[in-house]
Amino acid sequence: MNIFAETWAYLTDPANWQGAGGLWARMLEQLLLTGTALVLAVVIGLPIALWLGHLGRGGFLAINISNVGRAIPTFALLALLVTADWPGTASFGPYGRAGLATLIALTLFALPPIITQSYTAIREVADDVKESARGMGMTSSQQFFRVELPLGLPLVMSGIRLALVQVWATATIAALVAGPGLGRIITDGFYRSNYPQGIAGAIVVALVALVLELAAAGVQRALDPTPSASAAADPVRESTTTGG
Protein backbone atom coordinates (compact mmCIF):
# COMPACT_ATOMS: atom_id res chain seq x y z
CA MET A 1 0.00 0.00 0.00
CA ASN A 2 2.97 2.21 0.63
CA ILE A 3 3.49 3.01 -3.03
CA PHE A 4 -0.08 4.27 -3.38
CA ALA A 5 0.35 6.57 -0.41
CA GLU A 6 3.54 7.90 -1.98
CA THR A 7 1.78 8.34 -5.33
CA TRP A 8 -0.97 10.28 -3.61
CA ALA A 9 1.62 12.37 -1.84
CA TYR A 10 3.27 13.14 -5.19
CA LEU A 11 -0.02 14.10 -6.79
CA THR A 12 -1.10 16.33 -3.93
CA ASP A 13 2.21 18.16 -3.64
CA PRO A 14 1.71 21.47 -5.47
CA ALA A 15 5.43 21.65 -6.18
CA ASN A 16 5.13 18.76 -8.61
CA TRP A 17 2.52 20.60 -10.65
CA GLN A 18 4.42 23.84 -11.09
CA GLY A 19 7.55 24.74 -12.99
CA ALA A 20 8.95 23.95 -16.42
CA GLY A 21 8.92 20.17 -15.96
CA GLY A 22 5.82 20.12 -13.76
CA LEU A 23 2.59 18.28 -14.43
CA TRP A 24 0.75 21.36 -15.73
CA ALA A 25 3.51 22.29 -18.15
CA ARG A 26 3.84 18.73 -19.41
CA MET A 27 0.08 18.41 -19.78
CA LEU A 28 -0.04 21.62 -21.78
CA GLU A 29 2.77 20.36 -24.03
CA GLN A 30 0.94 17.15 -24.67
CA LEU A 31 -2.40 18.84 -25.31
CA LEU A 32 -0.70 21.18 -27.76
CA LEU A 33 0.97 18.24 -29.52
CA THR A 34 -2.27 16.26 -29.63
CA GLY A 35 -4.31 19.17 -30.90
CA THR A 36 -1.82 20.16 -33.59
CA ALA A 37 -1.31 16.60 -34.81
CA LEU A 38 -5.06 16.06 -34.97
CA VAL A 39 -5.68 19.30 -36.87
CA LEU A 40 -2.89 18.47 -39.33
CA ALA A 41 -4.25 14.96 -39.87
CA VAL A 42 -7.77 16.32 -40.42
CA VAL A 43 -6.55 18.97 -42.84
CA ILE A 44 -4.51 16.45 -44.82
CA GLY A 45 -6.61 13.31 -44.57
CA LEU A 46 -10.22 14.46 -44.48
CA PRO A 47 -10.48 16.11 -47.92
CA ILE A 48 -8.78 13.15 -49.59
CA ALA A 49 -10.94 10.60 -47.81
CA LEU A 50 -14.19 12.49 -48.46
CA TRP A 51 -13.28 13.02 -52.11
CA LEU A 52 -12.43 9.33 -52.60
CA GLY A 53 -15.60 8.34 -50.78
CA HIS A 54 -17.64 10.61 -53.03
CA LEU A 55 -16.04 9.16 -56.14
CA GLY A 56 -16.41 5.68 -54.71
CA ARG A 57 -12.84 4.94 -55.69
CA GLY A 58 -9.68 4.11 -53.82
CA GLY A 59 -11.46 1.96 -51.29
CA PHE A 60 -8.65 -0.54 -51.35
CA LEU A 61 -6.20 2.22 -50.55
CA ALA A 62 -8.33 3.75 -47.81
CA ILE A 63 -8.86 0.47 -46.02
CA ASN A 64 -5.31 -0.76 -46.37
CA ILE A 65 -3.77 2.44 -45.13
CA SER A 66 -5.21 1.65 -41.76
CA ASN A 67 -4.03 -1.96 -41.87
CA VAL A 68 -0.50 -0.93 -42.72
CA GLY A 69 -0.61 1.84 -40.14
CA ARG A 70 -1.49 -0.69 -37.50
CA ALA A 71 1.58 -2.79 -38.23
CA ILE A 72 4.05 0.08 -37.91
CA PRO A 73 4.96 0.71 -34.29
CA THR A 74 4.65 4.46 -33.70
CA PHE A 75 7.55 4.21 -31.28
CA ALA A 76 9.78 2.81 -34.04
CA LEU A 77 8.63 5.52 -36.45
CA LEU A 78 9.28 8.20 -33.87
CA ALA A 79 12.70 6.73 -33.07
CA LEU A 80 13.61 6.74 -36.77
CA LEU A 81 12.50 10.36 -37.18
CA VAL A 82 14.44 11.46 -34.12
CA THR A 83 17.62 9.69 -35.21
CA ALA A 84 17.46 10.90 -38.81
CA ASP A 85 19.14 14.12 -39.89
CA TRP A 86 15.75 15.68 -40.43
CA PRO A 87 13.59 16.41 -38.38
CA GLY A 88 15.91 15.08 -35.69
CA THR A 89 15.89 16.05 -32.04
CA ALA A 90 16.14 19.80 -32.54
CA SER A 91 13.69 21.80 -30.47
CA PHE A 92 10.68 23.16 -32.27
CA GLY A 93 9.00 26.25 -30.85
CA PRO A 94 6.59 25.52 -28.01
CA TYR A 95 6.70 21.83 -28.84
CA GLY A 96 10.09 21.38 -27.26
CA ARG A 97 12.95 19.06 -28.01
CA ALA A 98 12.11 16.43 -30.63
CA GLY A 99 8.81 18.26 -31.00
CA LEU A 100 8.74 18.26 -34.79
CA ALA A 101 9.59 14.56 -35.01
CA THR A 102 6.85 13.78 -32.50
CA LEU A 103 4.40 15.95 -34.38
CA ILE A 104 5.11 14.19 -37.67
CA ALA A 105 4.88 10.73 -36.10
CA LEU A 106 1.59 11.57 -34.40
CA THR A 107 0.09 13.11 -37.53
CA LEU A 108 0.95 10.00 -39.53
CA PHE A 109 -0.52 7.94 -36.73
CA ALA A 110 -3.78 9.90 -36.73
CA LEU A 111 -4.28 9.67 -40.49
CA PRO A 112 -5.43 6.02 -40.83
CA PRO A 113 -8.47 6.15 -38.54
CA ILE A 114 -9.55 9.48 -40.02
CA ILE A 115 -9.12 8.38 -43.64
CA THR A 116 -10.70 4.96 -43.21
CA GLN A 117 -13.69 6.15 -41.18
CA SER A 118 -14.41 9.17 -43.40
CA TYR A 119 -14.10 7.17 -46.58
CA THR A 120 -16.45 4.52 -45.22
CA ALA A 121 -18.85 7.17 -43.94
CA ILE A 122 -19.38 8.73 -47.38
CA ARG A 123 -19.21 5.45 -49.22
CA GLU A 124 -21.87 3.81 -47.10
CA VAL A 125 -24.56 6.41 -47.59
CA ALA A 126 -27.43 4.33 -48.95
CA ASP A 127 -27.42 3.99 -52.72
CA ASP A 128 -31.12 4.72 -53.14
CA VAL A 129 -30.64 7.99 -51.26
CA LYS A 130 -27.83 8.96 -53.62
CA GLU A 131 -29.95 7.95 -56.60
CA SER A 132 -32.91 10.03 -55.48
CA ALA A 133 -30.60 12.98 -55.03
CA ARG A 134 -29.43 12.52 -58.59
CA GLY A 135 -33.00 12.06 -59.72
CA MET A 136 -33.92 15.41 -58.15
CA GLY A 137 -31.38 16.97 -60.46
CA MET A 138 -28.62 17.65 -57.95
CA THR A 139 -25.17 18.23 -59.31
CA SER A 140 -22.31 16.10 -58.10
CA SER A 141 -21.17 18.72 -55.60
CA GLN A 142 -24.72 19.31 -54.40
CA GLN A 143 -25.06 15.59 -53.85
CA PHE A 144 -21.91 15.64 -51.79
CA PHE A 145 -22.62 18.70 -49.66
CA ARG A 146 -26.36 18.29 -49.21
CA VAL A 147 -26.76 14.54 -49.01
CA GLU A 148 -23.62 12.51 -48.53
CA LEU A 149 -21.76 14.75 -46.10
CA PRO A 150 -24.68 15.36 -43.69
CA LEU A 151 -25.57 11.68 -43.67
CA GLY A 152 -21.98 10.54 -43.27
CA LEU A 153 -21.11 13.16 -40.67
CA PRO A 154 -21.67 11.03 -37.55
CA LEU A 155 -19.21 8.42 -38.76
CA VAL A 156 -16.72 11.08 -39.91
CA MET A 157 -16.97 12.62 -36.44
CA SER A 158 -16.45 9.30 -34.73
CA GLY A 159 -13.27 8.79 -36.77
CA ILE A 160 -11.91 12.14 -35.62
CA ARG A 161 -12.95 11.45 -32.05
CA LEU A 162 -11.19 8.11 -32.19
CA ALA A 163 -8.07 9.74 -33.58
CA LEU A 164 -8.13 12.36 -30.82
CA VAL A 165 -8.07 9.84 -28.00
CA GLN A 166 -5.54 7.64 -29.75
CA VAL A 167 -3.21 10.54 -30.47
CA TRP A 168 -3.43 11.71 -26.86
CA ALA A 169 -2.61 8.23 -25.65
CA THR A 170 0.20 7.78 -28.13
CA ALA A 171 1.72 11.20 -27.51
CA THR A 172 3.10 9.85 -24.23
CA ILE A 173 5.65 7.76 -26.09
CA ALA A 174 7.45 10.94 -27.15
CA ALA A 175 9.06 10.59 -23.74
CA LEU A 176 10.90 7.46 -24.86
CA VAL A 177 12.97 9.74 -27.10
CA ALA A 178 13.14 12.43 -24.40
CA GLY A 179 10.49 14.47 -26.20
CA PRO A 180 7.73 16.60 -24.71
CA GLY A 181 4.56 15.63 -22.87
CA LEU A 182 3.33 13.88 -19.75
CA GLY A 183 5.16 10.71 -20.71
CA ARG A 184 8.26 12.43 -19.40
CA ILE A 185 6.90 12.35 -15.86
CA ILE A 186 6.37 8.60 -16.27
CA THR A 187 9.71 7.72 -17.86
CA ASP A 188 11.70 10.02 -15.55
CA GLY A 189 10.05 8.26 -12.64
CA PHE A 190 10.92 4.87 -14.02
CA TYR A 191 14.47 5.54 -15.03
CA ARG A 192 15.21 7.02 -11.61
CA SER A 193 13.37 4.22 -9.81
CA ASN A 194 10.95 6.83 -8.50
CA TYR A 195 7.90 4.65 -9.13
CA PRO A 196 5.40 6.84 -7.26
CA GLN A 197 6.21 9.60 -9.77
CA GLY A 198 5.81 7.19 -12.70
CA ILE A 199 2.46 6.00 -11.40
CA ALA A 200 1.31 9.55 -10.66
CA GLY A 201 2.12 10.55 -14.25
CA ALA A 202 0.24 7.52 -15.54
CA ILE A 203 -2.82 8.40 -13.48
CA VAL A 204 -2.88 11.97 -14.80
CA VAL A 205 -2.49 10.77 -18.42
CA ALA A 206 -5.26 8.21 -18.01
CA LEU A 207 -7.61 10.70 -16.37
CA VAL A 208 -7.10 13.29 -19.12
CA ALA A 209 -7.68 10.54 -21.69
CA LEU A 210 -11.03 9.76 -20.12
CA VAL A 211 -11.95 13.45 -19.95
CA LEU A 212 -11.03 13.89 -23.64
CA GLU A 213 -13.05 10.82 -24.58
CA LEU A 214 -16.11 12.07 -22.72
CA ALA A 215 -15.73 15.60 -24.11
CA ALA A 216 -15.34 14.30 -27.66
CA ALA A 217 -18.39 12.09 -27.23
CA GLY A 218 -20.31 15.11 -26.00
CA VAL A 219 -19.24 17.26 -28.95
CA GLN A 220 -20.07 14.47 -31.35
CA ARG A 221 -23.54 14.11 -29.88
CA ALA A 222 -24.12 17.86 -29.99
CA LEU A 223 -23.08 18.16 -33.64
CA ASP A 224 -24.88 15.07 -34.83
CA PRO A 225 -27.61 16.16 -37.25
CA THR A 226 -29.29 12.75 -37.16
CA PRO A 227 -29.10 11.54 -33.56
CA SER A 228 -30.87 8.28 -34.27
CA ALA A 229 -28.22 7.22 -36.74
CA SER A 230 -25.37 7.60 -34.27
CA ALA A 231 -25.98 4.14 -32.86
CA ALA A 232 -24.66 2.75 -36.11
CA ALA A 233 -21.45 4.73 -35.79
CA ASP A 234 -19.32 2.37 -33.85
CA PRO A 235 -16.28 4.30 -32.66
CA VAL A 236 -14.33 1.28 -31.52
CA ARG A 237 -14.60 -0.72 -34.71
CA GLU A 238 -11.44 0.87 -35.89
CA SER A 239 -9.89 1.63 -32.53
CA THR A 240 -6.92 -0.57 -32.86
CA THR A 241 -3.83 1.47 -33.22
CA THR A 242 -3.28 3.07 -29.84
CA GLY A 243 0.23 3.38 -28.59
CA GLY A 244 2.60 1.24 -30.57
Using CB under 8 A as the criterion, which residues of the chain lie in contact with other proteins when the complex forms?
Answer: 3-4, 67, 70-77, 79-80, 82-83, 165, 168-173, 175-177, 183, 186-187, 189-190, 195, 198-199, 201-203, 205-206, 209-210, 212-213, 236-237, 239-244
- Quote the CA–CA distance of 76 and 80 in Å, as a whole number: 6
* Smallest distance from other proteins to CB 216, Å: 10
* Smallest distance from other proteins to CB 82, Å: 6
* Smallest distance from other proteins to CB 165, Å: 5
* Smallest distance from other proteins to CB 144, Å: 29
Residue 124's alpha-carbon distances to 69, 118, 153, in angstroms, are 22, 10, 11
Q: Residue 19 carries which DSSP code?
A: S
* Minimum CB distance to other proteins smaller for 129 or for 211: 211
List residues bridging with 97 in a β-sheet: 91
* Minimum CB distance to other proteins smaller for 20 or for 236: 236
- Quote the CA–CA distance of 147 and 192 in Å, as a whole number: 57
* Minimum CB distance to other proteins smaller for 77 or for 149: 77
CA angle 225, 130, 67 (to 5 degrees): 75
Residue 156 burial (10 A CB sphere; 0-12, 13-18, 19+)? buried
* Smallest distance from other proteins to CB 139, Å: 35
* Minimum CB distance to other proteins smaller for 141 or for 193: 193
Number of other residues whose CB lies within 10 A of the CB of residue 73? 12
* Minimum CB distance to other proteins smaller for 152 or for 183: 183
* Minimum CB distance to other proteins smaller for 133 or for 212: 212
Q: Which amino acid, residue 92?
A: F
The H or E element that residue 169 is part of is helix 149-171
* Smallest distance from other proteins to CB 33, Å: 13
Do the Cβ atoms of 116 and 65 come closer than 8 Å? yes
